[in-house]
Structure 1
Amino acid sequence: MEASHFLQGSRFVTTTMARPRHVHERNKLPRCSIIAVLTTPADNMNIATDTIPAGAAIEEKRVYKDNWFDRMAINHLSQNVQAATRLRNNKSGYESLVEAATVASRKFNPEKQRELVLQALDTAFPKPVFSLLRTILPESKFAREYFAIFTTIFFAWLVGPCEVKESEINGRKEKNVVYIKKCRFLEESNCVGMCLNMCKVPSQSFIKTSLGTPVNMVPNFDDMSCEMIFGQNPPEISNDPALKQPCYKLCKVNRRHNSNDCSK
């Protein structure tokens, strides 16, 4: 009930009236569940970070701003790969290099792919320079560290930003590891098979033959990073863990890669 007071002539009148039920119900707050606040926001964030790896899938693709030297080196290597495979394309820049590798990976088996890349590397890089380096820099701690530094300076256009890291070899510490934060070639090709057959395996063989120093390339297919360990012999192809990895679900080469292919 609700009371109201007003003056009518000389009399003071008081009236009462009932509040409509619908007004009371309209102003009534709706019920709500409080289960969601039983866990603190901090706890929720911890659960999220534990279940979703840092940088997984949501990380944006790196944009490269190649300078004149980068473009010249990319074009030179791309042209040599196309010449070795006899498969030409009309693309330019890094896209041309990836296209040349992609077409070759579709047309040739893994063994032939490695052979063609070795042929392209032999023609792309001057043999007299490598012969000279091999003569003046026989395998040693100094040579391994020199090659690691050289790679980070002159081959970032091919693999992306990288840095020298330390490892233990022959019982002592050396700065003989090139750590590639996110391999440009793997990111662009998005194919494990291309990484292995058109980069890792032929590059290991080329460096060993040209510089006289073994190198083991250890890709991480979860975050697309890679380590080039100078002075470490790579395992045999049949025993290399990297060559037993399945390809990505979104492989640009239609997921043709498997462990059996790599052992051919």
Structure 2
Amino acid sequence: MAVSLCLAGCPPASSSSPGRLTVVAGLMWRPRKVVATKTETDRTDNWFDRMAIRHLSKSIQATTGMVNSKEGYESLVESASSVAHRFSPKEQRELVIQALHRAFPKPILSLAKILMPQHRLTRECFAIFTTIFFPWLVGPCEVKESEFGGRKERSTVHIKKCRFLESTNCVGMCINMCKMPTQKFINESLGMPVSMVPDFDDMSCELIFGQKPPEAEDDPALKQPCYEGLCKARKKYSVDCSA
């Protein structure tokens, strides 16, 4: 799976065969069972982390009307799991986008979209910004060099082990409450295409800024079955793990 995801997320090998690797990867890819780790990474949140987690959790709760009394990251996971339990995959994605608009004021998003047009420097700034301000959500991450338009630039973020995916052990929630709505929100609100490429074997993920995500029918991540016997959302909430 890791190989096919890489091919789907990487640029063509040569300008004479654009997109060929992506098509080949899509044809060769076959969904298979993956097994999640049973142990969860220990994390210590600082004051900024706790404030950001609470803000996003409350934004989801206010959007959906479903309140919970949990604290910290557990509250965020509880909010997301409740949404996954009660709403269809399409509705989940729409609700997350609404919650993100509630969490991030529209004037700030509009100003950022105007001041940061598509450019190498902009893509690299997005990558750096993500590694500084969002580890509380996704876990430790780093900027990686990638190729864009035939040139090397540092516009890809590598998430070593996604905190949200590890906390839920749910492929469906990863797709419907993170990958798909985040791609759409960043593209529409900030004018920056981004492709999120999760690796469900090791729970890592890459955010490739400037790259349009594949169409849903061509995205290998959307064909991935959930973790065998370890999906917390399914066990606790009877969540439909389909993407």
TM range (shorter): 0.7 to 0.9
What is the letter of the counterpart of residue 116 of structure 1? L
The equivalent residue for 2:199 is 220
Q: Distance in 2 between matches of 1:127 and 1:164?
A: 27
The equivalent residue for 1:75 is 54
CA shift, 1:58, in A, is 6.5
What is the letter of the counterpart of residue 257 of structure 1? C
1:235–1:87 distance in 2 versus 1, CA, 3 Å: same
1:232–1:124 distance in 2 versus 1, CA, 3 Å: same
CA shift, 1:257, in A, is 2.0
| TM-score using structure 2 length | 0.81
1:137–1:57 distance in 2 versus 1, CA, 3 Å: closer
CA shift, 1:60, in A, is 4.2
Q: Does residue 1:173 correspond to 2:173, yes or no?
A: no
For 1:110, which of 89, 94, 103 is the aligned residue?
A: 89
- Provide, for residues 215-245 of structure 1, a one-character-per-residue CA deviation record: whole Å limited to 9, x for no partner: 0000000000000000000011122110000
Identify unmatched segments of 5+ residues in structure 2. 1-34
1:116–1:59 distance in 2 versus 1, CA, 3 Å: closer
What is the letter of the counterpart of residue 204 of structure 1? Q
CA shift, 1:209, in A, is 1.1
| TM-score using structure 1 length | 0.75
For 2:111, which of 129, 132, 136 is the aligned residue?
A: 132
Identify unmatched segments of 5+ residues in structure 1. 1-55
Q: Distance in 1 between matches of 2:101 and 2:203?
A: 27
Q: Which has the higher contact order (CA 8 A, sep 6+)?
A: 2
- Provide, for residues 55-104 of structure 1, a one-character-per-residue CA deviation record: whole Å limited to 9, x for no partner: x8668421111111110000000001011111111101000000000011
1:58–1:124 distance in 2 versus 1, CA, 3 Å: closer
Q: Distance in 2 between matches of 1:110 and 1:237?
A: 13
Q: Does residue 1:252 correspond to 2:232, yes or no?
A: yes
Q: Which has the higher strand share?
A: 1
Q: Distance in 2 between matches of 1:102 and 1:251?
A: 11
The equivalent residue for 2:98 is 119
2:36, 2:201 within 8 Å by CA — same for their partners in 1? no
Q: Distance in 2 between matches of 1:188 and 1:178?
A: 20
Partner secondary structure for residue 147 of structure 1: helix
- Map of 1:172-191 to 2, 5 A cutoff? 172-191=151-170
Q: Distance in 2 between matches of 1:58 and 1:111?
A: 28
Bigger mean CA deviation after superposition, 123-132 or 69-78: 123-132
2:142, 2:157 within 8 Å by CA — same for their partners in 1? yes
Q: Distance in 2 between matches of 1:59 and 1:91?
A: 22
Partner secondary structure for residue 253 of structure 1: helix
Q: Distance in 1 between matches of 2:128 and 2:199?
A: 21
Q: Distance in 1 between matches of 2:61 and 2:39?
A: 30
2:161, 2:205 within 8 Å by CA — same for their partners in 1? yes
Partner secondary structure for residue 156 of structure 2: strand
For 1:146, which of 125, 143, 155 is the aligned residue?
A: 125
Partner secondary structure for residue 218 of structure 1: strand
For 1:240, which of 212, 219, 222 is the aligned residue?
A: 219
2:186, 2:194 within 8 Å by CA — same for their partners in 1? yes
Tell me which structure has the larger Cα radius of gyration: 1
Partner secondary structure for residue 154 of structure 2: strand
For 1:92, which of 62, 65, 71 is the aligned residue?
A: 71
CA RMSD in angstroms, aligned pairs only = 1.4
Q: How many corresponding residue pairs? A: 204
The equivalent residue for 2:20 is none
